[in-house]
Chains A and B, each alone.
Chain A
Amino acid sequence: RKEVEQDPGPFNVPEGATVAFNCTYSNSASQSFFWYRQDCRKEPKLLMSVYSSGNEDGRFTAQLNRASQYISLLIRDSKLSDSATYLCVVNEPFSGGYNKLIFGAGTRLAVHP
């Protein structure tokens, strides 16, 4: 079982649609959570952190359910520029008191006119 699992998509949606991505993680000791965005043939960039109480940034809302080990990202009013791959990222404790980021394989979103 992968440590971070995502639906690979692609999600093909029209402009203005609301789309939700889900992600599950296997390590209950995971400490922090992020959504990254990666455009085609580009590097990943942080979209938003995910907090236990849920958080919103404009059209983007992230939710965390620690009991179910589940993270979600909701995008409202989709724009053409939202087309990208969205990576679910989990920070896990590691040996020596360190931690490391585990990246999901990503969910591809294609927004069409």
Chain B
Amino acid sequence: EADIYQTPRYLVIGTGKKITLECSQTMGHDKMYWYQQDPGMELHLIHYSYGVNSTEKGDLSSESTVSRIRTEHFPLTLESARPSHTSQYLCASSEASGATEQFFGPGTRLTVL
């Protein structure tokens, strides 16, 4: 089992609220990623990080922001949640070198009312 954790697992929240989705890993991986996935659809990369103080936007435009102050922690924040943000958010990590697999957390299923 991969040592990558996400909280909360499920979140139902009203429009306009600020939310932070937590992701942490204990594998010492430098690379971390956030994906967004709607039911039955493909994963879309929304943010990634190559290490501490490194953050980049992914292929899919997102209103969320991320930070990487510690290697093991990669939180995602939505300043003002909207119904269009309803989706599953998956965090992943991988080793820094080489073309290695990504390990995924269990995901956060977000519903914005």
Contact = CB atoms under 8 A, between A and B. Distances in A.
Interface residues of B, number: 19
Interface string A28-45: 000110100000011111
Interface of A: 31-32, 34, 41-46, 49, 87, 91, 98-101, 103-106
Does more than half of chain B's interface fall in helix, strand or loop, or is it mixed? loop
B85 to A, nearest CB: 18
Contacts of B88: 41
Contact of B42 (A45, A99, A100, A105): A105
Contacts of A44: 43, 90, 104
A103 B42 contact: yes
Nearest to A101: B102
Contacts of A46: 101, 103
